[in-house]
């Protein structure tokens, strides 16, 4: 299981899984490892202390998936949904929120489906009036501290299509969104590089979808 915190990621793995996914790259050799017991549940503070200034941390447990689930279970799970929107030119809708490049997303309201929430959040945060869901992309989970408590945000991501070469956009300033723009080519990938690790995962899944379709 992979979890994120800001621009860092945390892999909960068993010993067998770790051997299978390990590579001889410098990054993998320098990744710190935290060993935990069968029923041990680290706190968010302990994980952040263990990762330090590194980009990632491996948490080794007898059952990595179960250890990740136990870690998440100690915090409220907040469900969210978001969209990666492509227009007719092949440009992608990117927002800037609190100085970070991002994709539109937000909480799933009571009674909403993930698809409905994703479409609503795209419209509210960017002013985009017409968009349709093409396919689900992936689900990401990240933990963060909100209003003095830790929580896990589980976000379901969808690929969307917006008709027109450059549909009009209007960023929702009340949500600390300073810009909403259509980006392609080098400008797009520079924005992705300036974004969160979770957003990079969404784009990885987007590229896989494009190759397969």
pTM as predicted: 0.88
pLDDT in tens, the chain (213 residues): 999 998 899 999 998 888 755 554 434 457 899 999 999 999 999 999 999 999 999 999 999 999 999 999 999 999 999 999 999 999 999 999 999 999 999 999 999 999 999 999 999 999 999 999 999 999 999 999 988 999 999 999 999 999 999 999 999 988 899 999 999 999 999 999 999 989 999 999 999 999 998
- Residue range(s) of every CATH 3.90.79.10 domain in the chain: 77-212
Q: What is the 3-state secondary structure (H, E, C) of 55-116?
A: CEEEEECCCHHHHHHHHHHCCCEEEEEEEEEEECCCCEEEEEECCEEECCEEECCCCCCHHH
Give the per-residue pLDDT at 23: 52
- Between the two ends of the chain, the Cα-to-Cα distance in Å is 27
Give the per-residue pLDDT at 17: 81
How far is residue 49's CA from residue 52's CA, in Å, rounded to a whole number? Answer: 5
| pLDDT tens figures, 91-117 | 999 999 999 999 999 999 999 999 999
Give the per-residue pLDDT at 146: 86
Give the per-residue pLDDT at 195: 92
Q: What are phi and psi of 38, to 5 degrees?
A: -55, -45
CB 83 within 8 A of CB 90: no
CB 106 within 8 A of CB 81: yes
Give the per-residue pLDDT at 173: 87
User: H helices then E strands: how many in the chain?
Assistant: 7, 11
For the domain made up of 77-212, give the CATH fold. Answer: Nucleoside Triphosphate Pyrophosphohydrolase (3.90.79)
**DSSP-derived 3-state class of residue 12:** strand
């Amino acid at each position: 299981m992979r979890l994120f915190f800001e621009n860092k990621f945390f892999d909960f793995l068993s010993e067998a899984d770790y051997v299978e996914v390990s590579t001889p790259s410098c990054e993998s050799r320098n990744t710190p490892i935290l060993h935990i017991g069968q029923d041990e549940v680290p706190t968010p503070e302990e994980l952040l202390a263990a990762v330090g200034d590194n980009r990632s941390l491996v948490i080794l447990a007898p059952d990595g998936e179960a250890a990740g689930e136990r870690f998440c279970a100690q915090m409220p799970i907040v469900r969210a949904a978001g969209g990666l929107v492509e227009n007719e030119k092949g440009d992608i809708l990117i927002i800037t929120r609190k100085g970070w490049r991002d994709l539109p997303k937000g909480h799933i309201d009571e009674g909403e489906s993930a698809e409905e929430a994703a479409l609503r959040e795209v419209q509210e945060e960017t002013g985009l009036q017409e968009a349709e869901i093409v396919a689900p992309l992936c689900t990401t989970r990240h933990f963060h501290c909100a209003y003095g408590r830790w929580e896990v945000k589980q976000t379901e991501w969808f690929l969307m299509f917006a008709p027109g070469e450059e549909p009009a956009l209007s960023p929702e300033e009340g949500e600390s969104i300073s810009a909403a723009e259509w980006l392609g080519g080098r400008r797009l990938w520079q924005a992705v590089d300036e974004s969160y690790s979770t957003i990079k995962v969404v784009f990885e899944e987007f590229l896989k979808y494009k190759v397969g379709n």
